[in-house]
Amino acid sequence: MYNKQLILIRHGESTWNKLNRFTGWTDVELSNQGKKEAQLSGQILKKKKINFDYCYTSLLKRAIHTLWIILNELDQVWLTVKKTWRLNERHYGNLQGLNKDEIATKYGDKIVNQWRRSFTSVPPKMKNTDNWSSCNDERYKNLKNNEIPSSESLELTLNRVLPFWKNNILPKIQQNNRILIVAHGNSLRALMKYLSHLNNEEIIDLHIPTGVPIVYNLNNTLCTPMKYSFLKNDE
């Protein structure tokens, strides 16, 4: 029996998505297109009469602003929202800020595809002194040094997402609360790998479009592999 629903949404297109740059933990804004995607996502949820009890997002404004726009469309801006670094995008290390096509030309498509899509590959690490390092960022001041990544694989991303899922989100779902998570392509890919029991090969082909709601109808045990579907405007 399926009586619990979870909605996942990747933030709308960001300014660096538009420029085809690796973003990671760099805090960039939504593009105009991304704002429209977020608005449409909210309209789709409203049309389907899907409302929420709790919302979760990252500490990065492209996800936070996407959530704001969606809640405004749903007339649910009053909802409790929990922000956490554990839902941040995967940290892309020294690739952050660089154009993906230029990096592929430099290192070759094969190695760049491994960095981007595989479960275990870790991009070149960023130094704490680099311009886009998060070590001196005010929002992470309460984290331990070993909690702030210098680069991450999808596996490492899952390792930080999963404790928050188990300790914070899952108990709310088990109490029959309706949950919305607005996060990032790879923090959501990591969570979906866990929820749907995807193997290391299957996760390579999982692409999450910006601004499209993903629906999980959850069973009572949440132990078996769970199916998901993308909620499109024409459905």
- List the structure tokens of 12: 């709308």
Task: Locate 195 and state its tokens.
Answer: 């929820």
Alpha-carbon distance 116 to 157, whole Å? 13
Give residue 104's identity as a one-letter amino acid code. A
11 is catalytic: yes
Q: Based on the residue annotation, tell me whether 197 is a catalytic residue of this protein.
A: no
> pTM for the whole thing?
0.95
Q: Is 192 within 8 Å of 206 (Cβ atoms)? A: yes
| Active-site residue, from 89, 91, 152, 184 | 89
Q: Which of 23-32, 86-95, 127-136 has the lowest mean pLDDT?
A: 127-136
Which candidate, 7, 62, 57, 11, places its Cα nearest to that of 37? 11
Distance from CA of residue 59 to its chain's centroid? 11
Check if the beta carbon of residue 168 is closer than 8 Å to that of residue 191.
no
Task: Find out whether 11 and 224 touch, Cβ atoms under 8 Å.
Answer: no
pLDDT at 102 over 50: yes
Q: Is the confidence at residue 138, as pLDDT, over 50?
A: yes
pLDDT score for 128: 80
Residues 6+ apart with CB under 8 A from 192: 8, 198, 206, 208, 214, 228
